[in-house]
Amino acid sequence: MVPETWKRGMGITILLLLIVSAAGCFGGTPPDFRNETEKYDLAVQQYNNAKTLYHQGNYSVAKTEFSAVIKHFQDNKSVFETISKGNYTSKEVYLSKKLVNNADQYTYAAAFYRDVADAAARGDTKQAYAIELNAEEFDQASRLTYEDIRNELLPYLHSRK
Tens of pLDDT along 148-157? Answer: 999 999 999 9
**pLDDT value, residue 24:** 45
pLDDT at 20: 42
How many C-beta neighbours within 10 Å does residue 152 have?
13
pLDDT attached to residue 5: 57
| pLDDT at res. 106 | 98
Amino acid at 29: T
Q: What is the pTM of this model?
A: 0.81
Kindly report the backbone phi and psi dihedral angles of residue 32, in degrees, each rounded to the nearest multiple of 5, phi listed first: -90, 120
| Rounded Cα distance, 45 and 43, in Å | 5
In the chain, % of residues over pLDDT 90: 81
What pLDDT, in 10s, does the model give residues 60-114?
A: 999 999 999 999 999 999 999 999 999 999 999 999 999 999 999 999 999 999 9
User: Mean pLDDT across the stretch 119-135?
Assistant: 96
CA distance 160 to 34: 10
Residue among 126, 103, 109 at smallest CA distance from 62: 109
Give the model's pLDDT for residue 109: 98
The end-to-end CA distance of the chain, in Å, is: 59
Confidence of residue 28 (pLDDT cuts 50, 70, 90): confident
Average pLDDT of the chain is: 88
pLDDT of residue 160: 80
Give the residue with greater pLDDT, 132 vs 16: 132
As a whole number of angstroms, the distance between CA 112 and CA 153 comes to: 27
From 99, 122, 123, select the one nearest 43 (Cα to Cα). Answer: 99
